[in-house]
Amino acid sequence: MYQMHLRIGVIGFVALLALASVARADYCITDQGNTTYVLDGRGFTMPHKGQCKVWKGFTAQLGFNSPTAGTACKSSDGSHLNLTLTTSYPEFPGGFLEIDSITLDLPAQSGTSNFNSFSGGSQSAGSFLVMGAVCAPPPAIPAVSTIPGAATVGGSVGGGQR
């Protein structure tokens, strides 16, 4: 009897750990034309229908440590997830900032990002196709850019093909 309770306890504990790891999983939104542009929402999970959640994360594009913050809201009928995300590239010479307005169709988790980017006094805009999914495995946050010449590459950060 004791062994049976012990087995049930161990199985329950393992199941609880599995659920906890899923709950902590990151959610990634990937540019389908420029797959180096991945927005990683740390610990982000989909909001319930008619609810919004905070997005906190980063992109490691070009090895930069580029913070991303914003809001994600699921429609009341559960058919769409809309996100407004701002990403800064503090290491980029002259500064670089991108604002992505993303709509994902659900349950497919595919959609479009309309972006505005600002760098060195100039602005650009466009759109690109995106896919959302749980990150597997979640990327690491870089300390500094490790790609030779990355800090001198102009206009090559952010989503879309520039």
In tens, the pLDDT along 59-76 reads 988 888 899 999 999 999
Split at pLDDT 50, 70, 90, the class of 157 is low
Domain limits of the chain? 25-137
Q: Is 115 helix (H, G, I), strand (E, B) or coil?
A: strand
Split at pLDDT 50, 70, 90, the class of 53 is very high
Q: What is the mean pLDDT of residues 102-125?
A: 95
Q: How far apart are CA 155 and CA 122, in angstroms?
A: 10
Q: What is the mean pLDDT of residues 88-102?
A: 90
Q: Which CATH number fits domain 25-137: 3.40.50.2300, 2.40.128.30, 3.90.550.10, 3.40.50.720?
A: 2.40.128.30
Split at pLDDT 50, 70, 90, the class of 10 is very low
9 pLDDT more than 80: no
Q: What is the mean pLDDT of residues 114-142?
A: 91
55 pLDDT more than 60: yes
- For 129, the enclosing helix (H) or strand (E) is strand 122-134
Q: How far apart are CA 15 and CA 12, in angstroms?
A: 5
Q: How far apart are CA 89 and CA 133, in angstroms?
A: 23
Chain centroid, CA 1 distance in Å: 48
